[in-house]
Homo-oligomer: A and B are copies of this chain.
Amino acid sequence: MTIGIIGSGNVAWHLAKQFNKLNFDIQWVYSRNEDSGNALANEIQSNFYATFPHQKVDFMFICVNDDQIQKVVDLIPEDCSFVYTSGSIALSSLSCKHQNIGVFYPLQTFSKTKEVDFSETPIFIEASNPNFEEKLNQLASKMSKIVQVLNSEKRTQIHIAAVFANNFVNHLFYIAEQHLQKHDLDFKILKPLVVESIEKAFEIGPKNAQSGPAIRGDFNTIERHLSQLSSSEKEVYQLITKQILQLHHA
C-alpha cells in the first residue's frame, strides 16, 4: 500500500513519521509550505512536491487546516482513496465523487519537537463504505490500541469536549502563569499539583475530585482572591466560581 501525505503541519509530521516507523511506503509529501514540507520529506526519506503530485498512491492523508480540506479534495483523482484528520468537519459535508473517503482522527495534541506515544492515542475512524472502514480500522489498529468507529456527529462532540479539556485548560494555565509571573513566582511549582489533580479527575471523576474555595462555599477566600485579580482574571474566576457554587450548593 502506497501513501501520500498532504500537509506538513504537526499532524502531518507525526502521522508520516509513525507510518514510516511502521514501514509503510510513503511516496510523497505535498505541502504549500516548502520549508516544512521539505523538512518532513527529508525526515522520512520521501519525495517532496510543492504542487499537487501526479504520482499515484493508494491512500492520501489530508492533514491540512479545516478550511483547506475541500480545496485539497478537489485536486484528488476520483479513483484515489483519501482520509482527512479533522475532528470537526463532517464527512457528509464534503462535496466529491470519490468512492472511498474517510476520517482518521487521532485525539491528541501534536507539536513537532515532542514525541507522542501513538499506541495510547485514541484514533476515531469513519468511512463512506464498510470495506473502506475495515481498511481504515486495520490501518489505525497498527498505530494504536484504541481505535473506534465513530460518526461525524459524535466526533464533533468529542472535539468540543477536547476544546474544554485541552485548549481551555491551557488558557487557565496561561492565567495561572501570568499571575505567578507578576509576583515573581515560577509557574513550574504548580506541576506536581496539576499532574496529581488530573490523575484524580480521571480516577474518581471530576465531580468527586472538585476542591477549592467555591465547593467549600468559602466566601471569605473568594472575596480575598477577587480583590487580587486583574479584570480578565476576575471574569474567569467569577464565572467558574458561580458554576461550581450552582452545581454543589444549589
By size class, the interface of chain A is 35 or more
In the complex the two chains form, is B108's CB within 8 Å of A160's CB?
no
In the complex the two chains form, is A225's CB within 8 Å of B160's CB?
yes
Given known contacts A210-B174, A220-B67, A197 and B160 CB-to-CB distance under 8 angstroms: no
Q: Is A171 an interface residue (CB 8 A)?
A: yes
Shortest distance from the beta carbon of A122 to any chain B beta carbon, whole Å: 5
Q: Is A192 an interface residue (CB 8 A)?
A: yes
In the complex the two chains form, is B180's CB within 8 Å of A166's CB?
no
* Measured CA separation A109–B67 after assembly (Å): 42
Q: Is A111 an interface residue (CB 8 A)?
A: yes
One complex includes copies of this chain to the number of: 2
In the complex the two chains form, is A179's CB within 8 Å of B196's CB?
no
In the complex the two chains form, is B180's CB within 8 Å of A161's CB?
yes
Contacts of A117 in B (CB 8 A): 192
* Measured CA separation A144–B124 after assembly (Å): 42
Contacts of A220 in B (CB 8 A): 66-67
Contacts of A1 in B (CB 8 A): none
A residues apposed to B, CB below 8 Å? 65-67, 88, 107-109, 111, 113-114, 116-117, 120-122, 146, 148, 154, 156-177, 179-180, 182-185, 187-207, 209-216, 218, 220-221, 224-225, 228-229, 232-233, 235-237, 239-240, 243-244, 246-247
